[in-house]
Amino acid sequence: MSLNGIKVVEFAGLAPGPFAGLVLAHNGASVIRIDRPSSTSKDLLCAGKRSIVLDMKTASGVRVAKDLIAKADVIIDPFRPGVLEKLGLGPEVFHTSDKREGLNDKLIYARLAGFPRNGTQAMCHDINYIALSGILSMLPGTVDKPTFPLNLIADFAGGGLLCANGILLAMIERGRSGRGQVVNVDMVSGSRYVSSFPLLSAGSGVWGGLRGTNLLDGGAPFYDVYTCSDGKWMSVGCLEPQFFAQFIGKFNEVMKSSGKQGSWSPSRSTQSTKEDWPKLRKYLEDGFRTQPRDFWTEVFHGTDACAVPVLSPTEAAQLHGSPYPVPHPALSRTSPSPLQDEIKTLDPGKHTADILRELGLSEEDMRQLVTEGALGKEARELERPKSKL
C-alpha cells in the first residue's frame, strides 16, 4: 500500500483526528493511538490502529510519548493550541531551528483545531464551525431556519479529510526537502474550503435568491426528496433539461395510467418556468405518495431520470456488500486495505506492552513505568500481585 512503513502517532480525540488517522491506516501507515488512563473510548474510526495508554501528567509518560514522536513520521494533535507545548511536545522540540537541533526534523506535525489559530481557543462542535464558515446559512431547511448535515462538513470533510490531505502534501514536499513541517487545519477554514462552490456562487444564478429558492437548496422541485406511500423516500436530481425530460415523461406516464394525473400536468418546459415550480412541487408530492418507494425505483431504474431511492444504512450495506464503508479512492496498483472487518472498537492500552518493547524498553523498564504511574492506575493495580506487566 502507498503508506507502508510510515509511522503515525495519533493522540486520542474525537471525530476529525481519528478519521485522519484512519485514512492513513487504510493506506498502509502504522498508526499508534495514545489514550488516557481510564479512557472509555468507543471510537469506531480505529481499524488497523494500535493503542498505548500513557498518563501525560507524569514525567515518564511524557518521556515515552516524546520517544514515540521522535521516531515517527507524523503526529496528529487534536488538542487546543498550546496543550502539547505545555507538555514539552510542541513542534519546536522536534523541528530544527536556528537556535536548536530538533529531535525529528522529518516529522510532519498535523494540528487540528476548531478555529483559526489566531482566533478563539474555545471548544465547540461541527454545527458551530459551519455556522461561522458561512455555509450553514445557505443549507436547506425550513422557512424559519437552515438545517445541518449531521457532523459531516466540519468534522470529517473540512477537518479529518483535509488534515489527511495536508499530511500527504507535506510528505510529498518532504521527499524533496528532507524536512517535515507543521500542518495547521482548523474546521472553520476547512468548512469554507470544502464549500468553495456554494460560497463563491453566492449571489450568482445558482444561489442568487433567498435560501430555499435556489436550484440546490431545496428551492427547485426537481432537486429534492419526496415521500412515498410507504413512508420511504425518493431522491430527485434531474437538473439538466434532458434528464428532467426523461423524469417528467416517466412520471406523467404513471400518473396517466393510474388515472391520477388531474387537470394540470407538467411538460418539459415547466422546468424553466419558475412561476410554475410551486404547482410542479405539489404535483410531485401528491404523485409520489400514490405508490411505494420500490415501485418508483423500478419506474426509473436504468434511465437518466436522476431519480433513485433513499436507502437506509442497512439497505446500503446490502447493496455494497458490507456494513463498513470501503476506503476510497481505489488505486490501480496500491489500493487501500479494507481493514474495517478487523475490529469495531479499539480497547485503550491494548498494545501498550508491545509498543514499549518496540521502543526498546525492557521488562524492568516497563515495571518502572508502572511504578511511576505512567501507564495509569489500572496497570499499577495489575502489577501488585505479580512481577510482570
- What is the secondary structure of 336-362 as a DSSP string? PP--TTT-SS--TTTTHHHHHHHTT--
Write out the DSSP string of 30-53.
EEEEEEPTT-----S--TTEEEEE
Q: Which amino acid is at 204?
A: S
How far is the C-alpha of 226 from the C-alpha of 252, rounded, in Å?
16
Of 67, 105, 125, 365, catalytic: 125
Strands of the sheet containing 223-227, edge to edge, are 223-227, 233-237, 307-309
Q: E strand or H helix at 165, and its extent?
A: helix 162-177
Query: Which member of 35, 55, 155, 217 is catalytic?
Result: 155
Instruction: Supply the DSSP symbol for 211.
Output: T
Does residue 351 have an active-site annotation? Answer: no
- Residues forming beta bridges with residue 234, ordered by sequence position: 226, 309
As a whole number of angstroms, the distance between CA 273 and CA 155 comes to 39
Cβ within 8 Å of residue 83, ≥6 positions away: 77
Beta carbons within 10 angstroms of residue 325's beta carbon: 11
Among this protein's residues, is 155 annotated catalytic? Answer: yes
Nearest Cα residue to 151 out of 121, 133, 125: 125
Give me the active site residues, please.
125, 155
